[in-house]
Structure 1
Amino acid sequence: MNTFHLSNSASCLLEVVVLPFFRFFAFHLGLIIEYYIMLHIKTPKSLRAKRAVEKRAPKLVENGKTTLILHGTKTSNVLNDVLTEIYHLKKDNSVKYSRRNDNIRPFESGGETSLEFYSLKTDCSLFVFGSHSKKRPDNLVIGRTYDHHIYDLVEVGVENFKSMKSCSYDKKIAPLIGSKPFFAFIGEGFENVEELKHLKEVLLDLFRGQVVSNLNLAGLDRVYVCTAMSSTKVLFTLCALRLKKSGTTVPRVELVEVGPSMDFVVRRHRLPDESLKKEAMKIAPELIKKKEKNVSKDAIEGKIGKIYVPDQQVGNASLPFTPKGVKRERREAKAKGEDNKHAEKKQKQHDDVSA
């Protein structure tokens, strides 16, 4: 095999002239490409594209969060049923992909790029990712995104799964699509254990749907019951609400298990970064209510306000009539003035005599 060796002068020329030139050229070429990308802003060319861009634009009151449901490289039958039933519970605001995704690996560096791409493509801020392996069987990862970047993650294992079909109940009381749920978190772990507190926040975000200010009692037909069995295990059950007569204006409530029901075993979780959390929690200035001065609210009396009345200057107030006592005061003042003049005159005469 022939080998080629550079002379000392050629190697010096390569190191001193050629390589710096290529580095300089590559550096400035990168700057030009980056500057072009920053200036090249795509504008919508049709009304449909314009409406899609406006729909994704920031709003003072955001729309309901959409959930993206994904499958990993390998999933079990139990996990497939879990993902399907979560999709049915959130059918009005969820997107489900049935293909396997080999590139998605949460909690790993570089394994979240495809997940963020799908979040941007479908405009979803919540995701549920299912995978199955020998180390972590029936694994479910629930997470949230901010600006289509991973915000936080919670990984749980699914045990003792019970589907909707296995529950026997009257189909008339089945929860309707778009109805609002109640949430019942039972156990001190949801207030004391960091993992369960994080799981509580994610489950509330996942199943509560659109945030509304007013509710109709007929629209509340389900309740999610989460019971903390230990510091790492949570019993999750969906129950339907049955309203019965109680003889009063408040109906009697009964819970009927309609499924799904499963046990969540908390495995891993990742809290959001403090700087990212601070940015995500910002509130628009238009939504901040200005504080009302001298106003307080009471649960019984309602809104209470204080009114400050300035002191009334009664002496300077103009009267609509002249009192009769003024004439008498004038006579007394006149008589008093004449007496003072007479006393001054006598005093003057006395001074002249003595002089």
Structure 2
Amino acid sequence: MLEIKTAKTRKGKRELEKRAPKLVESGKKTLILHGTKTSGVLNAVLAQIYHLKKNDAVKYSRKNENVKPFEAGGETSLEFFSLKTDCSIFVYGSHSKKRPDNLVIGRTYDHHIYDLVEVGVENFKPMESFSYDKKLAPKEGSKPFIVFIGEGFEAVDELKHLKEVLLDLFRGEVVENLNLAGVDRAYVCAALSPNRVLFTHCALRLKKSGTVVPRMELVEVGPSMDFVIRRHRPPNESLRKEAMKTTREKPKKKEKNVKRDELKGKIGSIYIPDQKVGETALPYKAKGVKRERREAKRKNDKDGENAPKRQKEDS
């Protein structure tokens, strides 16, 4: 029997809680690896991807001979690195005569290979080749816009799969509210053909539009490259269902006397019982009664003083 070790320190417990399954996933960490042989273009591509995801990425610079994503038995080392670094998405670069400047992007489920997409990199332009105002440079860790242009992302299976993987790779942290002033970058993916996608990185420039919503302009800051889809391995249906499992949401309790309006929002009705004012006992005001008595006494005294004078005048 294997001994099950549990965390004994608070720091260890916190680390286990971070790695525990969550209903709403946070931003995925990315593992960047080099193959047995790489080219100068591919090294630059991996370095630029690491720069874009610097806060949520782990980069290994050594060559890995045992990592072969699409081959049987070549995924063991990759799954080990995923477990070691707690990364759920990886980018693997390799170069060969058959597949030059080859990039494999994949996801893991429970630190086992979930799906894979293999693309070739062409027409690569690094960040240094673009000239622009450096004040517009996006800040590290900012939330990006991701734009997909082309019907192929909805009709072609390979492009659909690539879209899902790119969204997981560049989306960052999951947030509910977003401050428009803090959005300073956008990733633009345009489907040029059923197997070719133009990927570019742009900075956002906000300008006055005469309304509350500012006008946005895109300034290309790089990197820019073409992805040529070569191979892809989608997850099987049983694994997809297992990965997509969520807990059943508890049915919400019905709120009485509450309705919702599209304009006014949430409206509640308040029912007030009959007040029965006639049966309510009035308070005894002692001060008021005493004042009335004093006023009546004064009035009587004045009447008593005036009565004899009138009698004398009559006599």
- The TM-score range, normalised by the shorter chain, is 0.7 to 0.9
Query: Does 2:47 correspond to 1:84?
Result: yes
Q: 1:140 aligns with which of 96, 103, 110?
A: 103
Tell me the alpha carbon deviations over residues 283-308 of structure 1, each in whole angstroms, 9 at most, x when there is no partner.
123xx26367799988x54768999x
Which residue of 1 is the match for residue 197 of structure 2? 234
Which residue of 1 is the match for residue 73 of structure 2? 110
Equivalenced residue count is 268
Where in structure 2 are the equivalents of 1:257-296 lying within 5 Å?
257-285=220-248, 288=249, 290=251
The percentage of aligned residue pairs carrying the same residue is 74
Change (3 A) 1:297 1:200: farther
Which SS does the other structure have where 2:139 is aligned? coil
Quick one: which amino acid aligns to residue 216 of structure 2? V
Deviation at 1:55, TM superposition (A): 2.4
Which residue of 1 is the match for residue 91 of structure 2? 128
Which SS does the other structure have where 2:129 is aligned? coil
Which residue of 2 is the match for residue 256 of structure 1? 219
Which SS does the other structure have where 1:98 is aligned? strand
Query: Does 2:82 correspond to 1:94?
Result: no
Question: Normalised by the size of structure 2, how large is the TM-score?
Answer: 0.80
Change (3 A) 1:56 1:305: same
Change (3 A) 1:303 1:47: closer
Which residue of 2 is the match for residue 50 of structure 1? 13
Deviation at 1:136, TM superposition (A): 0.3
Quick one: which amino acid aligns to residue 100 of structure 1? K
Which SS does the other structure have where 2:41 is aligned? helix
Q: 1:167 aligns with which of 130, 144, 149?
A: 130
Report the Cα distance in structure 1 between the residues aligned to 2:193 and 2:268, rounded to whole angstroms: 51
Which residue of 2 is the match for residue 225 of structure 1? 188
Quick one: which amino acid aligns to residue 277 of structure 1? R
Report the Cα distance in structure 2 between the residues aligned to 1:53 and 1:283, rounded to whole angstroms: 20
Q: Is the helix fraction higher in 1 or 2?
A: 1
Which residue of 2 is the match for residue 180 of structure 1? 143
Report the Cα distance in structure 1 between the residues aligned to 2:95 and 2:132, rounded to whole angstroms: 32
Report the Cα distance in structure 2 between the residues aligned to 1:297 and 1:69, rounded to whole angstroms: 49
Report the Cα distance in structure 2 between the residues aligned to 1:114 and 1:61, rounded to whole angstroms: 28
Where in structure 2 are the equivalents of 1:144-163 lying within 5 Å?
144-163=107-126
Greater relative contact order structure (CA < 8 Å, 6+ sep): 2
Which residue of 1 is the match for residue 209 of structure 2? 246
Question: Normalised by the size of structure 1, how large is the TM-score?
Answer: 0.71
Deviation at 1:249, TM superposition (A): 1.1
Change (3 A) 1:83 1:297: farther
Which SS does the other structure have where 2:201 is aligned? strand
Tell me the alpha carbon deviations over residues 251-289 of structure 1, each in whole angstroms, 9 at most, x when there is no partner.
11110000000000000001111111101111123xx26
Tell me the alpha carbon deviations over residues 116-135 of structure 1, each in whole angstroms, 9 at most, x when there is no partner.
00000000001000000000
Q: Which has the larger radius of gyration?
A: 1
Tell me the alpha carbon deviations over residues 190-227 of structure 1, each in whole angstroms, 9 at most, x when there is no partner.
01000000000000010001110000011111111111
Which residue of 2 is the match for residue 62 of structure 1? 25
* Uncovered stretches (5+) of structure 2, i.e. residues with no partner: 270-277, 279-315
Deviation at 1:58, TM superposition (A): 2.5
